[in-house]
Amino acid sequence: MSDYIELEYYKKRLIERQDAILAGQKARKKDTAPVKLDQARVGRLSRMDAMQQQAMSQASARLIELERQRIRTALGRIESGDYGYCILCDEEIAEKRLQFDPSILTCISCAEKAERD
């Protein structure tokens, strides 16, 4: 690994983001709960709106869980000494790319290739 990677800096950023995600998940837990049918209090359109909000919350929760998985993988790669290298081609990931998202696992070339495929 090149000297340009400051592992402690990236580790700190990853842990901070992971902590923020966990705090946000606790706060949003009620948003993904099943929508209860209460015809006396909530009309049909309100229930449909609540179900749509629930679906959006669930989709958001899935994306956040994927981010948590990337963070855990990146932290594991820091511990194993593989951090900063592309998981596909084993080339170094550009520092600016890591600064933008420390949990990124691929170099720009492999990411672009994956988008085309």
> Where exactly are the structural domains of the chain?
7-82
Mean pLDDT of the chain, nearest integer: 84
Report percent pLDDT > 90 for the chain. Answer: 58
The pLDDT confidence band at residue 44, using thresholds 50, 70 and 90, is: low
Instruction: Out of 7-16, 30-39, 77-86, 102-111, pick the least confident.
Output: 30-39
Residues whose CB falls within 8 Å of the CB of residue 106, separated by 6 or more in sequence, listed in order? 86, 87, 88, 93, 114
Query: Which pLDDT band, with edges at 50, 70 and 90, does 40 fall under?
Result: low
Strand, helix or coil for residue 77: helix
